[in-house]
Amino acid sequence: MVVARSSRDPFIAPFTSGARLGQSFLIAPRGAPPRLGFLTPMERDEAARGGLDLFTPEELDVERWARGGADPPTLLGNVLSRALHLMELAPAQLALAGQESAGVVRGVCALLEGEGWSFQPGEQIVYRLRKCKTPEQLEGIRLAANGAGAALRLVGELLAAASERDGELWLGAERLRVARLRREIASVMPEHGLEQPDGNIVAPGADGAVPHSIGDDQRVLVPRESLVVDLYPRGELFADCTRTFCVGEPPEPLAAAHAAVVEALALARERTRPGIRGWDLQRNVCRHFEAAGYPTPISHRGTTRGYVHGLGHGVGYEVHEEPSFKEEAGDDGLLEAGDVVTLEPGLYEPEAGWAVRLEDLYALGEDGVENLTPLPTELDPRAW
C-alpha cells in the first residue's frame, strides 16, 4: 500500500503515468492487479491517465466521512478500510510506503490495526520496482537532462563573456554574482518544462570545496577560482549533472586536480556496464586518486579533502535512488540494463579554497551505455 499526499510523491508517481492528483493511494495485492484510489471527483480524468483500475471517491464513501467532520487520519483510514474491503482482502500484513505526513499515517495505521491489519516498511519494494526505467521514464529523464545541459551551456556563455575589473568578474555594467547565474539558470528551466524543487549548487572557491554547499548568492565571482555548478531539475523525473568552471588561467593545483577528475570520469565510464557493482566502480576511482596522491574515503576514512564522497547513484523519481554505490549495498548496488546512474568524481581542497566535480548521467542498456549529458568538461568557459 502506497499512501501519498499527491501524485508527485516518488513512491506513487511511477504508477500514475504523469497524472496530476491530490491525496491518493495505491493497493497492490500479491498476485492481483494494483488499484489506484483518488479522493476528489474533479480528478477522475487525471486518474484515468494511469491506466490502472480505479477506486472512485463515490465507491470510497469520501463524501460521507468528509460531511461527518472526520479529521484527516480518520477520513483516510476509513477510506483505505473501504478500499481493502472492496478488494475482498482479509486482514493481513501490509507493506506500507509513501510520503504522507507522519501524523496522518500514524492515525491510519491505528485504525487499520484495530481491524486486524499489521504493517512493515514497504519502501524497498517500490525502490526495486522503479529502479530499471521504462522507455517512457527514460525519455522523461532525457528531457530533464537536456534542460540541465541548456542551463549549463548558458552559464558557460555568461562566464566566457565576463570581463575582469579590479580583480572581480563583471558582466556588462554589474559585478557578476552567484545570484545572477542562479537567475539565468532558473530562466532556462521553464522552457524545458522543468522546475528545481531542491534548488541547485552554484558554489565558487571555498564554497565549492564543501560538496553540498549551495553557494552564497551575494558572492562576487573572481578570476582564476573554481566554480562548481550542480543542477538537478525535475520534470516528470529528475536529472543530475555537474560541471566546474574557471575564468582565466587556473592555479596549478586546480588544473592538476581537474585533469585527475577528467581521467577518473573516463575510467569510471569505461567500466560502467550491466552486471558490475557500484562499489567496484567507487573502489577503482579511489585507487586512481590515491595513485595521484589524493586522500579518499578508503585510504582516509572521513576525509574532508581530496576525494570525499561516493562515485554515483541512481536517478529517477528522486535525485538519489537505487542503484547504490555503497559498499554495504549488496544486491541493491548491482547495475542492470534499464538503470540510470550518475558518475561524479570530484576533488576538494577546503584550506586552499578550490574544488572540481564533474558529473554525467548515464542510461545503461543491453548494448551499451548512453551519456545523457554530453557536455564539455573543460574548466575554460570559452570551450562552451
Partners of residue 243 on adjacent β-strands: 229
Mean pLDDT of the chain: 96
* Arithmetic mean of pLDDT, 350-376: 97
The average pLDDT across 346-375 equals 97
Whether 317 shows a pLDDT value over 90: the answer reads yes
- For range 233-240, the mean pLDDT: 97
Number of neighbouring beta carbons within 10 Å of residue 187: 11
Q: What is the pLDDT of residue 331?
A: 79
Pairing of strands 93-96, 53-55: unpaired
pLDDT tens-digit series, residues 105-121: 999 999 999 999 999 99
Q: Are 155 and 229 in contact (CB under 8 A)?
A: yes
Q: Please say whether the beta carbons of 267 and 326 come within 8 A.
A: no
- Give the per-residue pLDDT at 215: 97
Q: Cell digits for 67?
A: 460531511
pLDDT at 200: 98
Name the β-bridge partners of 121. Answer: 96
CA distance 195 to 193: 7
User: How far is residue 311's CA from residue 276's CA, in Å, rounded to a whole number?
Assistant: 14
Domain locations in the chain as residue ranges: 2-130, 133-383
Residue 249: which of 222, 230, 229 has the closest Cα? Answer: 222
In which band, very low, low, confident or very high, does the pLDDT at 100 lie, cut at 50, 70 and 90? very high
Fold of domain 133-383: Creatine Amidinohydrolase (3.90.230)
Q: For 166-199, how does the pLDDT look when each residue is reduced to its tens digit (9 = 90+)?
A: 999 999 999 999 999 999 999 999 999 999 999 9
Predicted confidence band at 52 (pLDDT cuts at 50, 70, 90)? very high
Report yes or no: 377 and 250 within 8 Å, Cβ to Cβ: no
Q: Count CB-CB contacts under 10 A for residue 5.
A: 16
Read off the pLDDT of each residue in 137-162 and give the average, rounded to a whole number. Answer: 98
pLDDT band at 85 (very low <50, low <70, confident <90, very high): very high
Q: What is the pLDDT of residues 8-47, one digit of tens each?
A: 999 999 999 889 999 999 999 998 999 999 999 999 999 9
Nearest-angstrom CA–CA distance, 81 and 111: 9
Comparing 18 with 319, which gets the higher pLDDT?
Answer: 319
Band of pLDDT at residue 50, cut at 50, 70 and 90: confident
How confident is the model at residue 367, as a pLDDT? 87
| pLDDT for 332 | 80
pLDDT for the residue numbered 175: 98
Report whether pLDDT(330) > 90: no
Average of per-residue pLDDT across 338-356: 98
Q: Extract the C-alpha cell encoding 203.
A: 558554489
Percentage of the chain beyond pLDDT 90 is 95
pLDDT in the model for residue 290: 98
* pLDDT, position 38: 96
Percentage of the chain beyond pLDDT 70 is 100
Cα gap 3→5, rounded to integer Å: 7
